[in-house]
Chains A and B, each alone.
Chain A
Amino acid sequence: MDAMLHISTLHYLVLGAALFLLGVIGVLTRRNVVVVLMSIELILNAVNLNLVAFSRYWGGLHGQVFAIFVITDAAAEAAVGLGILIAFFRNKETVNVDEVNLLKW
Protein backbone atom coordinates (compact mmCIF):
# COMPACT_ATOMS: atom_id res chain seq x y z
CA MET A 1 0.00 0.00 0.00
CA ASP A 2 2.89 2.29 0.75
CA ALA A 3 4.27 1.70 -2.73
CA MET A 4 0.90 2.75 -4.13
CA LEU A 5 0.65 5.91 -2.06
CA HIS A 6 4.19 7.19 -2.37
CA ILE A 7 4.53 8.48 -5.91
CA SER A 8 8.05 7.77 -7.14
CA THR A 9 9.69 8.20 -10.53
CA LEU A 10 8.74 4.63 -11.38
CA HIS A 11 5.05 5.55 -11.22
CA TYR A 12 5.52 8.16 -13.92
CA LEU A 13 7.53 5.70 -16.02
CA VAL A 14 4.76 3.08 -15.76
CA LEU A 15 2.18 5.69 -16.74
CA GLY A 16 4.34 6.62 -19.73
CA ALA A 17 4.72 2.96 -20.69
CA ALA A 18 0.94 2.48 -20.57
CA LEU A 19 0.39 5.52 -22.77
CA PHE A 20 3.10 4.27 -25.17
CA LEU A 21 1.34 0.88 -25.40
CA LEU A 22 -1.99 2.56 -26.17
CA GLY A 23 -0.30 4.49 -28.97
CA VAL A 24 1.32 1.34 -30.36
CA ILE A 25 -2.02 -0.49 -30.34
CA GLY A 26 -3.61 2.45 -32.15
CA VAL A 27 -0.90 2.56 -34.82
CA LEU A 28 -0.99 -1.20 -35.40
CA THR A 29 -4.74 -1.80 -35.47
CA ARG A 30 -6.61 1.29 -36.69
CA ARG A 31 -7.41 1.88 -40.36
CA ASN A 32 -8.16 5.60 -40.28
CA VAL A 33 -5.02 7.62 -41.07
CA VAL A 34 -6.09 10.51 -38.82
CA VAL A 35 -6.38 8.21 -35.80
CA VAL A 36 -3.03 6.61 -36.65
CA LEU A 37 -1.42 10.06 -36.61
CA MET A 38 -3.10 10.79 -33.27
CA SER A 39 -1.71 7.51 -31.89
CA ILE A 40 1.76 8.65 -32.95
CA GLU A 41 1.13 11.81 -30.91
CA LEU A 42 0.26 9.56 -27.94
CA ILE A 43 3.60 7.75 -28.34
CA LEU A 44 5.54 11.02 -28.49
CA ASN A 45 3.72 12.23 -25.37
CA ALA A 46 4.65 9.06 -23.51
CA VAL A 47 8.31 9.71 -24.35
CA ASN A 48 7.95 13.31 -23.17
CA LEU A 49 6.50 12.15 -19.86
CA ASN A 50 9.52 9.90 -19.32
CA LEU A 51 11.91 12.73 -20.20
CA VAL A 52 10.31 15.16 -17.75
CA ALA A 53 10.13 12.48 -15.02
CA PHE A 54 13.84 11.74 -15.42
CA SER A 55 14.58 15.46 -15.45
CA ARG A 56 12.90 15.62 -12.04
CA TYR A 57 14.76 12.51 -10.87
CA TRP A 58 18.25 13.69 -11.74
CA GLY A 59 17.73 17.39 -11.26
CA GLY A 60 18.75 19.81 -13.98
CA LEU A 61 16.63 20.84 -16.91
CA HIS A 62 18.13 18.88 -19.79
CA GLY A 63 15.21 16.48 -19.92
CA GLN A 64 12.76 19.35 -20.13
CA VAL A 65 14.73 20.96 -22.96
CA PHE A 66 14.69 17.64 -24.77
CA ALA A 67 10.93 17.40 -24.23
CA ILE A 68 10.56 20.80 -25.92
CA PHE A 69 12.55 19.53 -28.90
CA VAL A 70 10.30 16.46 -29.07
CA ILE A 71 7.24 18.74 -29.09
CA THR A 72 8.81 20.69 -31.99
CA ASP A 73 9.32 17.43 -33.87
CA ALA A 74 5.74 16.43 -33.15
CA ALA A 75 4.50 19.70 -34.64
CA ALA A 76 6.61 19.21 -37.79
CA GLU A 77 5.49 15.58 -38.08
CA ALA A 78 1.81 16.49 -37.67
CA ALA A 79 2.03 19.25 -40.30
CA VAL A 80 3.76 17.06 -42.90
CA GLY A 81 1.65 13.99 -42.08
CA LEU A 82 -1.60 15.88 -42.43
CA GLY A 83 -0.36 17.47 -45.67
CA ILE A 84 0.33 13.98 -47.03
CA LEU A 85 -3.12 12.92 -45.82
CA ILE A 86 -4.79 15.75 -47.75
CA ALA A 87 -2.84 14.87 -50.92
CA PHE A 88 -3.78 11.22 -50.45
CA PHE A 89 -7.44 12.02 -49.93
CA ARG A 90 -7.48 14.16 -53.07
CA ASN A 91 -6.16 11.25 -55.14
CA LYS A 92 -7.98 8.29 -53.61
CA GLU A 93 -11.06 9.80 -51.91
CA THR A 94 -10.41 7.75 -48.77
CA VAL A 95 -8.57 8.03 -45.46
CA ASN A 96 -8.00 4.30 -45.10
CA VAL A 97 -4.41 3.13 -44.60
CA ASP A 98 -5.18 -0.26 -46.13
CA GLU A 99 -5.69 1.44 -49.48
CA VAL A 100 -2.21 2.98 -49.48
CA ASN A 101 -0.81 0.09 -51.50
CA LEU A 102 0.58 1.66 -54.67
CA LEU A 103 4.13 0.52 -53.80
CA LYS A 104 3.01 -2.85 -52.49
CA TRP A 105 4.60 -5.80 -54.18
Chain B
Amino acid sequence: MAADPTNHMEPVATPFFFYLLGGLMLIGGVLVITRKNPVHSALALIVTLLAQASIYLMLYAPFVAGVQIILYAGGIMVLFLFVIMLVSIERSQRERQFNKQWVVGMVAATALGGLFIAVYTKGRGIFPEHALPAVEAQNTQNVGTLLYGQYMFAFEIASLLLLVAIIGAVVMAKKRI
Protein backbone atom coordinates (compact mmCIF):
# COMPACT_ATOMS: atom_id res chain seq x y z
CA MET B 1 0.00 0.00 0.00
CA ALA B 2 2.77 2.44 -0.77
CA ALA B 3 1.52 5.89 -1.63
CA ASP B 4 4.32 6.60 -4.01
CA PRO B 5 6.25 3.67 -5.45
CA THR B 6 9.35 5.79 -5.84
CA ASN B 7 9.49 6.52 -2.11
CA HIS B 8 8.62 3.11 -0.73
CA MET B 9 9.55 -0.44 -1.36
CA GLU B 10 6.96 -3.07 -0.62
CA PRO B 11 8.22 -5.34 2.15
CA VAL B 12 9.48 -8.65 0.82
CA ALA B 13 8.28 -11.97 2.22
CA THR B 14 6.35 -10.39 5.10
CA PRO B 15 5.06 -13.69 6.59
CA PHE B 16 8.54 -15.22 6.63
CA PHE B 17 10.12 -12.26 8.39
CA PHE B 18 7.16 -11.85 10.75
CA TYR B 19 7.40 -15.44 11.97
CA LEU B 20 11.21 -15.35 12.07
CA LEU B 21 11.37 -12.13 14.09
CA GLY B 22 8.35 -13.00 16.23
CA GLY B 23 9.89 -16.37 17.02
CA LEU B 24 13.19 -14.71 17.92
CA MET B 25 11.30 -12.30 20.19
CA LEU B 26 9.43 -15.05 21.99
CA ILE B 27 12.50 -17.29 22.34
CA GLY B 28 14.39 -14.32 23.76
CA GLY B 29 11.53 -13.60 26.16
CA VAL B 30 11.42 -17.20 27.36
CA LEU B 31 15.19 -17.15 27.91
CA VAL B 32 14.88 -13.88 29.87
CA ILE B 33 12.51 -15.38 32.41
CA THR B 34 14.16 -18.81 32.68
CA ARG B 35 17.94 -18.22 32.77
CA LYS B 36 19.70 -18.54 36.09
CA ASN B 37 22.42 -16.00 35.34
CA PRO B 38 21.01 -12.45 34.99
CA VAL B 39 23.73 -11.61 32.46
CA HIS B 40 22.33 -14.30 30.16
CA SER B 41 18.84 -12.87 30.74
CA ALA B 42 20.07 -9.42 29.75
CA LEU B 43 21.69 -10.75 26.55
CA ALA B 44 18.47 -12.60 25.66
CA LEU B 45 16.54 -9.39 26.28
CA ILE B 46 18.83 -7.57 23.84
CA VAL B 47 17.95 -10.20 21.18
CA THR B 48 14.24 -9.60 21.90
CA LEU B 49 14.63 -5.82 21.64
CA LEU B 50 16.55 -5.99 18.35
CA ALA B 51 13.98 -8.36 16.82
CA GLN B 52 11.26 -5.99 17.95
CA ALA B 53 13.06 -3.06 16.34
CA SER B 54 13.02 -5.02 13.07
CA ILE B 55 9.28 -5.60 13.48
CA TYR B 56 8.86 -1.84 13.90
CA LEU B 57 10.59 -1.45 10.55
CA MET B 58 8.07 -3.87 9.04
CA LEU B 59 5.31 -1.63 10.43
CA TYR B 60 6.85 1.44 8.72
CA ALA B 61 8.04 3.00 11.97
CA PRO B 62 11.76 3.60 11.31
CA PHE B 63 12.12 6.36 13.92
CA VAL B 64 10.69 4.21 16.72
CA ALA B 65 12.95 1.37 15.55
CA GLY B 66 15.99 3.63 15.79
CA VAL B 67 14.95 4.90 19.22
CA GLN B 68 14.41 1.31 20.30
CA ILE B 69 17.92 0.27 19.27
CA ILE B 70 19.69 3.38 20.61
CA LEU B 71 17.76 3.82 23.85
CA TYR B 72 16.78 0.28 24.79
CA ALA B 73 19.48 -1.96 23.40
CA GLY B 74 22.15 0.70 23.74
CA GLY B 75 21.20 2.60 26.88
CA ILE B 76 18.90 0.72 29.22
CA MET B 77 20.52 -2.67 28.68
CA VAL B 78 24.00 -1.26 29.37
CA LEU B 79 22.55 0.17 32.61
CA PHE B 80 21.21 -3.28 33.47
CA LEU B 81 24.55 -4.96 32.73
CA PHE B 82 26.43 -2.40 34.86
CA VAL B 83 24.08 -2.95 37.80
CA ILE B 84 24.37 -6.74 37.44
CA MET B 85 28.13 -6.32 37.72
CA LEU B 86 27.79 -3.98 40.73
CA VAL B 87 25.67 -6.38 42.76
CA SER B 88 27.05 -9.79 43.57
CA ILE B 89 25.12 -12.50 41.77
CA GLU B 90 27.04 -15.55 42.99
CA ARG B 91 24.81 -16.09 46.00
CA SER B 92 21.54 -15.58 44.15
CA GLN B 93 22.65 -18.04 41.47
CA ARG B 94 23.00 -20.80 44.01
CA GLU B 95 19.52 -20.12 45.39
CA ARG B 96 16.14 -21.21 44.14
CA GLN B 97 15.22 -19.08 41.12
CA PHE B 98 11.44 -19.19 41.41
CA ASN B 99 9.54 -18.03 44.46
CA LYS B 100 7.13 -20.03 46.59
CA GLN B 101 4.05 -18.46 45.00
CA TRP B 102 5.01 -19.58 41.50
CA VAL B 103 1.96 -21.88 41.22
CA VAL B 104 -0.39 -19.01 42.04
CA GLY B 105 1.56 -16.81 39.65
CA MET B 106 1.25 -19.35 36.84
CA VAL B 107 -2.50 -19.71 37.50
CA ALA B 108 -2.91 -15.93 37.32
CA ALA B 109 -0.85 -15.77 34.12
CA THR B 110 -2.90 -18.61 32.59
CA ALA B 111 -6.11 -16.77 33.47
CA LEU B 112 -4.72 -13.66 31.79
CA GLY B 113 -3.77 -15.74 28.74
CA GLY B 114 -7.26 -17.19 28.60
CA LEU B 115 -8.64 -13.67 28.74
CA PHE B 116 -6.38 -12.63 25.85
CA ILE B 117 -7.47 -15.65 23.79
CA ALA B 118 -11.15 -14.91 24.51
CA VAL B 119 -10.73 -11.25 23.58
CA TYR B 120 -8.87 -11.97 20.35
CA THR B 121 -11.15 -14.77 19.16
CA LYS B 122 -14.47 -13.15 20.07
CA GLY B 123 -13.48 -9.57 19.40
CA ARG B 124 -11.72 -9.82 16.06
CA GLY B 125 -14.71 -8.16 14.40
CA ILE B 126 -13.80 -4.97 16.25
CA PHE B 127 -10.72 -4.67 14.05
CA PRO B 128 -12.11 -5.43 10.63
CA GLU B 129 -9.58 -6.08 7.92
CA HIS B 130 -9.34 -3.00 5.81
CA ALA B 131 -6.78 -1.85 3.35
CA LEU B 132 -4.02 -0.34 5.45
CA PRO B 133 -3.66 3.42 5.00
CA ALA B 134 -0.86 4.79 2.90
CA VAL B 135 2.43 5.33 4.63
CA GLU B 136 3.64 8.84 5.21
CA ALA B 137 6.73 9.57 3.23
CA GLN B 138 8.73 11.35 5.95
CA ASN B 139 8.31 9.42 9.13
CA THR B 140 10.96 11.08 11.29
CA GLN B 141 10.02 14.58 10.22
CA ASN B 142 6.33 14.00 10.94
CA VAL B 143 7.05 12.40 14.32
CA GLY B 144 9.18 15.42 15.21
CA THR B 145 6.44 17.81 14.12
CA LEU B 146 3.94 15.98 16.30
CA LEU B 147 6.32 15.86 19.28
CA TYR B 148 7.13 19.55 19.15
CA GLY B 149 3.65 20.63 18.11
CA GLN B 150 0.63 18.78 19.36
CA TYR B 151 2.46 16.88 22.09
CA MET B 152 4.63 19.78 23.27
CA PHE B 153 3.25 19.74 26.81
CA ALA B 154 3.62 15.97 27.19
CA PHE B 155 7.15 16.28 25.83
CA GLU B 156 8.05 18.83 28.49
CA ILE B 157 6.48 16.67 31.20
CA ALA B 158 8.58 13.76 29.94
CA SER B 159 11.75 15.84 30.26
CA LEU B 160 10.74 16.77 33.82
CA LEU B 161 10.14 13.08 34.54
CA LEU B 162 13.61 12.22 33.27
CA LEU B 163 15.14 14.94 35.46
CA VAL B 164 13.33 13.56 38.52
CA ALA B 165 14.45 10.05 37.59
CA ILE B 166 18.09 11.14 37.27
CA ILE B 167 18.03 12.86 40.67
CA GLY B 168 16.19 9.92 42.21
CA ALA B 169 18.62 7.36 40.82
CA VAL B 170 21.64 9.35 42.07
CA VAL B 171 20.09 9.79 45.53
CA MET B 172 19.24 6.10 45.75
CA ALA B 173 22.60 4.82 44.59
CA LYS B 174 24.75 7.25 46.57
CA LYS B 175 26.20 6.02 49.83
CA ARG B 176 26.07 9.25 51.82
CA ILE B 177 24.01 12.21 50.74
Chain A residues near B (Cβ < 8 Å): 4-15, 17-26, 28-32, 34-35, 37-39, 41-42, 45, 48-49, 52-53, 55-62, 64-65, 67-69, 71-80, 82-87, 89-90, 93-98
Please state if A28 and B86 are interface contacts (CB–CB under 8 Å): no
Interface residues on B, range: 35 or more
Q: Which of B14, B55, B86, B92 sits near A96, CB closer than 8 Å? A: B92
A22-B32, A75-B76 are known contacts. Are A80 and B109 too (CB-CB below 8 A)?
no
- A96–B98 CA distance with the chains assembled, in angstroms: 10
Q: Which of A15, A67, A76, A97 sits near B25, CB closer than 8 Å? A: A15
A5-B15, A11-B18, A59-B134 are known contacts. Are A31 and B48 too (CB-CB below 8 A)?
no
A61-B139, A71-B71, A80-B168 are known contacts. Are A14 and B120 too (CB-CB below 8 A)?
yes
Residues of the B chain whose Cβ atoms lie less than 8 Å from the Cβ of A89: 86-88
Residues of the B chain whose Cβ atoms lie less than 8 Å from the Cβ of A74: 72, 76
B residues 46-102 near A (Cβ < 8 Å) are 48-49, 52, 55-56, 59-61, 63-64, 67-68, 71-72, 75-76, 79-80, 83-84, 86-89, 91-92, 95-102
Main secondary structure of the interface of A (DSSP, over half): helix
Question: Is B137 positioned at the interface, with any CB of A under 8 Å from its CB?
Answer: no
Q: What is the minimal beta-carbon distance from A28 to any residue of chain B, in angstroms?
A: 3
Main secondary structure of the interface of B (DSSP, over half): helix
Chain B 132-176 interface mask (CB, 8 Å, partner A; 1/0):
111010010011001100010010001001101110111111010
Please state if A53 and B92 are interface contacts (CB–CB under 8 Å): no
Q: What is the minimal beta-carbon distance from B59 to any residue of chain A, in angstroms?
A: 5
Please state if B22 and A15 are interface contacts (CB–CB under 8 Å): yes
Which single residue of chain B is at the shortest CB-CB distance from A36?
Answer: B33
- A70–B53 CA distance with the chains assembled, in angstroms: 15
Please state if A9 and B61 are interface contacts (CB–CB under 8 Å): no
Chain B 109-145 interface mask (CB, 8 Å, partner A; 1/0):
1001100100010001001010011101001001100
Please state if B87 and A85 are interface contacts (CB–CB under 8 Å): yes
A8-B129, A86-B87 are known contacts. Are A69 and B158 too (CB-CB below 8 A)?
yes
